[in-house]
Each structure stands twice: as C-alpha cells, then as structure tokens.
Structure 1
C-alpha cells in the first residue's frame, strides 16, 4: 500500500516537472528530487493544496503562481560564482577567448541582467580582473548590472557582505578583492567603480547595447514563451557580433534557437549569430535590382581593396602553410611584396621575426580558437624598437573546415611608451594621479550611465538611513565586544600571575638542589639545566638549552649516557643508577654518580628524561 502511495506521489511530482518544462521551457530534472519535493511542498502548504495533482491543477489555473514557485525552488541560490563548474569554464575558456578577439586597448562591456543583490556582477568583476590584471580591468571594463527589484539593487550598490555570503570564495580572492571591516566584507572600492547598477525591465525597457559578455542566468523562467522570445531578441540585439551569452543551468530554449550558436550546452554558454547568408540557389538571388546586383558582383574586388587598405598590418596563411594574402601595411612593415604571395611561410623571414609565428598558427589550428601574443618587441632598425601585439584567428567556412589563419600585427609602441610615462608620473604624483584617474573614469561614463546615476541619487536618502542604522548597531556591537575583551584581559592577567608563581616555584626547586639536574626531551635536547649542573661542568643554562645532550663538549663522557637515556625516553617506569669517571669544570677528575629516570606527563607517558649527577660524596637518591 505504501509503495502505491509513493508511486502515485512520484508520478504527480514528475507531472509537475514535465508541465514546467512544456509550458515554460525550463528543465528542473537535473535537480535533486528530495530538495525539489521539499520546496514544492512548501508552496503547496502555502496555497493549501494537499497533493501534487491538486497543485498541478492550481498551477494551470493561476499563472501568477509560476513566479512564486520559481522563487521557492531557487531560494538562497544567489551567491558568488554560483555553479562553480560553469564559472570555471567561463574563466578558463570563454573570457580569454573574448579578450583575445579584442585589441589591447579596446573597452570590454559586460551586462549582468537580473543581478539581484550583486554577487553575480562582482563575480564577473573578479573573473575579469583575474584574466586582465587589476589595472587593465579598471581602464577597460564596464559591468552594467540591472534588475527590477529596487531593494535588491540598493543592497548591491552597498557591496557589503557577511562572512557567510563569501564563505565559498577562495581565500586569495577574499584578501585581494574585499576589505574586512567590523565583521563585514566590502568589495574593493576601486573595482566597484567599474560596476554600474540600475533598474531595467527586460520586457519593457530597451536593452544596453554593444555588450561583449551578457550574463542572464535563471531569469527567463519568470516569463511565458512570448515574453521569453521577445527578451531573447533584445539580448541578441545587445550583443556585439560573436558576443557571448551565459545562461542558467535550468534554461534550455537557446539550444533550439537560430540566433545563438551553442558553445557549451552543459554550461549554457552561447555566441551570437549574425544574419544567415543567402544560399546560392535561393529565390532571393533572382529578384535583386540591377544596381544592387552590380554591387554584389564586385564584392570580391571590394573585399580585396578593403583588406589591402587596412591600416593594421595583416597576413593570411592557408591550411597548408602558404601565404595567401598580404595587405599594404604588412608589406611596408616587413618588406613583403606580391612575389611572396603563394610562398611557404617557413621560407619567409616573417615566419620567425619578430616572433615565431608557426607555433602560434599550429596552436590556432589545433584549438580552433583565437590566440593573442602580447609583449612582442622587434628591433626594426637602429633606434627603432617596436612593441607589437599579434592576434591569430582561425578562418572557418560554413561547413566547419578550417581553411586558414589570419595574423594581425597591432603596433602598440605608442601605448607602451605612454604606459611607461604614466607609471613614472604615478610614482611621483600618486595622489594627483588617483584624482585624475577618478575624473577620467567619470568622463568615460556615457549616456547609458546617466539613467543609472539618476536612479542612484533617488535612493541615496534610503541608503544613508540604512547606513546610519548599521553604524548604530555596529557601535553597540563594539561596546559589547569591548566588555568581553576586558573580561578576557582580566582572566589572562590572573592566569599569567599564576604561571609566573608556578615557574618561580619550579625554578626555586631546581636552584635549591645541589646536585646537577639535566632534563632532556624526546629528541635528547636539553630543556632544563640547573645551577648544580652549571657548577659541575662550567656551562650556563642559556649555553646548553636546545642543544643535543650528546653534542655537549664537557668533562662528562656523554656517549656513555646514551644506553641509560634511550630506555627512559621509551619506558615511563624506567630508572637506573650508574657510576662513571668524569672531569669537572675545574679540570679535576671525579667519580660521578648518575641517576636517570623517565620524565612523565599526567597521563603517565614518557616525554623525556631526567638526569641527576653528583660527585662520589654527594647524594643522588633524589629520584624515587
């Protein structure tokens, strides 16, 4: 009977998941069933449904319930680098690819749509700063973070998080990108300036344009199919050609979309597709106006002239290593001519100067993705040192075959010189430079930031009120902490006094013994050496403490002590007396009586050995 009830429950629950998939296009089958059932049951209890079947009927009748259900399913999932595997792939593969396809000084624009309380936007900032370096990030990157929830945006703008919020972050990320203050962690203010928060309704508002990387994770699930289609078109418009879209793991519609090309379906990463080319036999080719057809007939000539006139040096190498194209700038820079077209790359000086090209070209062919070579210096002539950055891009036809590799030589000499000059000026005028940099960054904020700035001003009073309340709370916490520290300080002072008295008592015992007392640890290193031992052998305590007993250069034949000390280190019950000849500190021969026993802790284990030494007429029965 119980099995029948459980089977019916499972069927009803699976029917809900299938309904969500069919009507909203989101696949939750990859989630743990126990967790999903618990969260769906929470919604069922709230709306008063007794079974999964009843709740499915409720969903079909009440369209607004989808949003509440999704909020319950995804509760407490907004955190830094959520879905670590997907973020690792984004950091190791996607971000380097995006940066390699852009010039060394080109701006990088990122949009976090549905940013909630800001963890996703700051995760993007960390990932880009790790890939580019903090200075490059500050100069080139703008991250636009939007949401419809004003309360969440207000929290995101503060950029302050608890230790629980950042517990999943690596320790080096926390130390590098956060400042710890009063038990809270605030995102680094210099990097925070590159993250711009603002309200944006994906359904009603216009999208932000010219975006290189767009992150919209688990946001579309709140909309029906028509709204999703409209939003996808806006996201497609927002991206630059071949821009990257990063979706959530529950979203699956884009795998069937004609406007995005999947890069990794498992992690829901896609690239923007442009307009589809018209097929050769397409009926559209037979209805072009005469003047339009004339232009199309001369497309090859136009492409050739455009390539030749490109102000940036560029060559194209075929799949069999032959030089296919050389533009005018490359010819002038590397002394190439039309006679070199068709020759093998390895036969030309450019193949190894200014840098070994063939290794990079082989890498592009193997990985089928763009590669960038930075920091290349070339001594073109006396006093003519050029700094170059090379971009290697695969040329792939529609069938997927790689037909060649494009090599572009960016002359960044001027940029490098300016960077060096700015670095020198920065060392001399650091404070003035920071103010100038802040002003420059503010001037770089264009019309897209203006709307965000206005909205930020509207929430300033609320933020100040919230900050004031937090400061009052912090003051109370500091007062409480101060009282606790005072109590702890008094306790430590009492314990220190007790330890001083105990140490003085133990020291007086060792000092009062006329016999020489030596205590060694498990490694036979001296840990105690009393006045009697100093009188016998002429060495002070600070000269022997920490030294190996058998390495002491005294009149005592220490090598003969090994057979009696070793057992004491292993056997807590060990005790032995011996008599031996020795030479005291005055150089006189004496007959020495030595007693050795184990040094025992409270548990009765041996932690070392005690040696008591005295001349023949002394008393050595001090160890029981």
Structure 2
C-alpha cells in the first residue's frame, strides 16, 4: 500500500508536468518520496534549490534532461541477479513451461525494464541451456523493453566489461560470449533472438501472447494505483497459463484475483484464467410473411415512405445521377428537389462531410455494401455531428446495377451515450475500488511492510549507484594524483640538477681571481663575482639588477659603453681596454678590461661578459 503524502508539493508536480509535456515522460505514477529524492539529488549537483528554478534550467538547457533521466531511472542490474530465484527459474519454471507446449511451438518472452540488457541475455542463456543453441534460435523470441533510450543503446551493443560479468562462470563466458579486447560480447547468432525496443509500462500497449514475463525490481518504483494498472496489462499480455517472474521486493498481495502464486519466496506467479469473452452481435433474420392480397397505390406509398424516412438518404443511378433525396437529407445538407437529375459530383455532399465518390465507385464495382464509420461534420460553429454512412449497391435479380443508395445515420446521440457509459463505468470502477479498499485495509500492515522493503531496496540501489560513482571518481583522482606525483618528482630532479649547475658555476666564479661581470641586453647586471667585490668594494646584492653605467665604483664605466654595445650587437668579437681606476682601498690602479659577447647556441647575443684584471693585486 502506498504511504506517500496525500497533498503533493505543487512545485514538484509542476516539474513532473513539464517533463511529460516537453519529453513525453510520465512520472506521475512513480512514488513521490523516492522520485522527489532523486530529482533533488540532481538539483543539488547543479546547485539549484527551488523546483521552479530547475524547470527554468530544463527550458534553456535541453542536455539537462539526459542527466535528470539518468538520475531518476537507476539502471542497476546484473547477470542472474538473486541467484537463488534464477536457479528456481532454470530448474522449475522453464522446464514446466516447455513441457506444457509442443516441441515446435514458439516461445515468447518479455523482459520489461531490461536496463542494460543483462536480464534479457540471462534469459537467453537459460533457454539456450534448456533447448540447445539451434532450437533456441528457431523457437525463442525475447522482447526486451525499457523507457530509457540510453540504456537500450547500451543493451543493443551487448558488450560488457569484466566487472559487469563477474556473476558468470568461466563456462558461461566461453559458451555465450566472444572476447573483444577487454570486453565480453554476447554471441551474435543468439543475439538475433533478443529484440530491444522502448516501452513505457504506464502508457504504451503491452506485448501480447507472452509465455514468460520477467519484470524484476521495477514495479516497486510505482505507487499502488499505477502498479495495479501495470499488472492488469501484464495479465492481458500473458498467454493462458503464462508465467510472471518478479523481483524479491515485489509481492502482488492485492492482485491475487488475476495471478496465482507458484512460489512466493522466488516471486513466480501464474496467470489466472482469462477474462470473460465479449458478446458478439446477434443479427436476427426477419421473416417475410406471405402476401395474401394485392395492395393498391404502392408507388405513392413507397415515395412517401422514402421521403419521410428517419435518416438522411440519397439515391443515385448507375451513372452517378441523383435520383432521389428524402426530407432528412434536404434538411441536413441543404438539398432540394431541384438537385434531382444533377450529377453527384456537382453537389457539395459528394465531398463534404466525407469524399463519397470513391466509396460509391467501389460499392458499384464490388457489388457490396460499404460502411464509413466515425465521420465528423461541423454543421455550424459549436455544433458537431457524427455520422455512420452506409453505401449500398441496388442490383437486379440478375446482378445488374440499378444504382446506389447512400444512407447517413446520425450517431451523435449514440456517441454521447457511449461517452456517458464510459464515464459511468469509470464511476463504477471507482465505487468498486472503494469497496475493495475495505478488504485491503486488512492487508495494510503487510502492505506497509512491503512498502518499507521496497523503499529500502530502492535506497540500496541508489547507494550502490552512488558507490559506483564514488569508486569511479576515486580512480580518476588517484590517476590524477599519480600524474601530479610524477610531475613533482621530475621537477625535484630538475631542481637538483639546476642546484648542481648553479653550485658548479658559483664555484668557478668564486675561484677566478679576476673580476667577472655579466650584463643582459639592457646592461642590467646579472653576475657579480667575488673578485669584482674585492676589486670595487660593492657587494653582489647591491650590484645585481642595477644598470652597469649607473654603478658608483672606481672604474670609469662610461668608457665601457661603446665596447659593451659592440659586444651586444655582435659587431665586436672581443675588445680589450686599459682603464685608470681607483680600487676599493682608494689606490690608483690600471685595470685591463676584456669585453666579449655572451652567445646562445644559435650564435645570437644574449648579453656581454666583462673580465677585469688590475695591474696591482688587491690586498
């Protein structure tokens, strides 16, 4: 019994209404608690709290529909899910089903809510084991349906990963699957007996003449009313003594009148005997009394009888010339006695309310009556009339054609009565359901427990789905972490190498007794070694980054401008200058300065090197 709130959230119902109108998915029969929980989960993923805002997102982003449907339609399935129940089907249900049918009778199986196809292919393996591959291909058709087009696309490929076939034995994998890379693909010759298609259990017509109907862990998503409708369709779909195989969370406690339990523990049921057959139309044969005397004035009597007939009638000759029009036809279609003698094609009635000429010609050629049903005619604004038109050929005793009579039966009142009858039937069904609810109150406790089991099963499947998503995210994060770790290791190795190179260069520059200065193309100091510090008394941290020509040292740096520019431009290979200077001790000295370009491997200049040697060593 459904324990959902009596008053649903109007904003949430607006979401369901929009899904039905925009994409044709009718979720109104689903249980509101679990359905709302899944919709809110998707809304949280896109950071939306209000249902109205989420409808706005669906309107501007059509791709969001796919993500929402994948969240709502949890396609958690497996090969031979619930092994004990499948063992019962393999050992008892299928052998009994085959024993009740002839050796060449076709077997029709329906897997309703097939998701990724594992259930359908499990059925194929069971029947192939029982019949052999050749007889299976000849006799068995498995119809696998689902409302989710994406899941059906995956099912049609029949390709599964190693994790998805973990329930299968090595023998089953070798017998029924082909290895393609790291995927297991179901055998093509057996795959042809499995037919996939979209079917909405709530809205679409069921498949008929089914011997075994498998619908596992699908009904539990629907409320009690919708479950009842679906089970009635299943009863229609099954052949006499057909079998129904449900999931472990589904019981049929309220539908024992249409299904008899075979094994409640394994959830197998048998269709009860069929519904009462319809009553056919009884057409009595009229007895024509023998004439006992002559009747006078028959021609005039027939004329008046035809004119006063209760239904509109027009008679035409074999050449399609209007011969007779009765009063009802004149009133209904605006005809008059002046139209007698005119060709039928010249009258509006020939094409309105329906194109008559083709039916008239067919009736003349085939010499039989033709009935045209459900003809709608809007005689005036707001007034709709429904006709059933009978076109009857008039023939001689020797089968010669005299003409054709066209009779317009006004069935508007009958249609209204039929609609009222249908309305009354619905009211009777409602009254019956209310009476039945008195009996169902006795089962309330079991139904509530069953609903709890279904909710737990649904939650378990949602948790399983979430767990799979988290495992996938973990694997992706672990892979990203490994890549970052490898990058960090590479950077540490490069850093260590750079430290070694820097230490090596530093050792060289420190060991050289000459002063060494390196400048970039903008004459900014890049290198200022220990010898330079000793010579001019300016520390490295004071010099590096400064403009060479702006340095306040005892060396006349302005006289170096030309030589350094020549080294930077590449016009000078090397330039040697002797300059008078004052060292850090304040003593006059002569400094030999060698200016050379600093080149890249391609020969272009990237700076200049200045090597300075004083005539007197610096103490």
| Band of TM-score, shorter chain | 0.3 to 0.5
TM-score of the superposed pair, with normalisation by structure 2: 0.35
- TM-score w.r.t. structure 1 length? 0.34
Q: Which has the larger radius of gyration?
A: 2
